[in-house]
Amino acid sequence: MPGYTLNSAVDELLKKEFDLLRKNGQTHELMEQYGIDAIPYQDDRMDTWRANFTGISVDHEPTKFHVFGAVDDVWINPAGEFYIVDYKSTSTQKEISLEDQYKQGYKRQMDFYQWLFRQNGFKVSNRGFFVFANADKNLPAFDGKLNFKMTIVEHTGDDSWVEDTILKAHECLNSETIPNSNPDCEFCNYRHASHKFD
């Protein structure tokens, strides 16, 4: 599918903004506003961890899967614990939260990132943070720019489901039986609908 180029631009600029603070071991004013006692984590591997198709990875021994994910940021608190951070762009007049149906995937994404870092031996807090950039649509004119309101939403991660899910995926891929489609899966529904015209 086509890339979300505006969202990617916001992600890239946020990474640059936090990288400036990372070099100097400084916190961000937004983190201070939300009472988050942490600084962006400085590590030569950050660019790899944030790169698509490399990210932070682990070779899952029971399945021989090479599992990876590209994280947006990592913050570290005074206790040496990692906070996994994900940037999100949106434009809504509703209160920013993680309770919408489609945002449940955001939570699973965060859980998975926490699991990956733990598998690599890092001390990871269950606390994770989503940094939302919410574009304001109520201005009188565009004038060649977007104004964003920045919000941080905390998520308490639970990666207890990850291991079992990887094992089930392995079992499914090695099964002779095609699994039933999920009625909530938009891709499955598309395939069913398009098959009518074959």
pLDDT at position 35, please?
97
pLDDT at position 198, please?
58
pTM value is: 0.90
pLDDT tens by residue, 132-148: 999 999 999 999 999 99
pLDDT at position 28, please?
97
**42 CB neighbour count, 10 Å cutoff:** 14
Number of domains in the chain: 1
The mean of the pLDDT values for the chain is 94
Residue 1 has pLDDT above 60, yes or no: no
Instruction: Tell which wins on pLDDT, 109 or 196.
Output: 109
Quote the domain boundaries for residue 130. 5-195
**40 CB neighbour count, 10 Å cutoff:** 26
Pairing, β 82-90 against β 73-76: antiparallel
pLDDT band at 170 (very low <50, low <70, confident <90, very high): very high
In order of 5, 8, 106, 176, the CA distances from 2 in angstroms are: 9, 12, 20, 33
pLDDT tens by residue, 95-110: 999 998 889 999 999 9
Which 3 state secondary structure label does DSSP give 172?
helix
CATH number of the domain enclosing 173 = 3.90.320
pLDDT at position 181, please?
83
pLDDT at position 2, please?
65
pLDDT tens by residue, 27-84: 999 999 999 999 999 999 999 999 999 999 999 999 999 999 999 999 999 999 999 9
d(CA 38, CA 26): 9
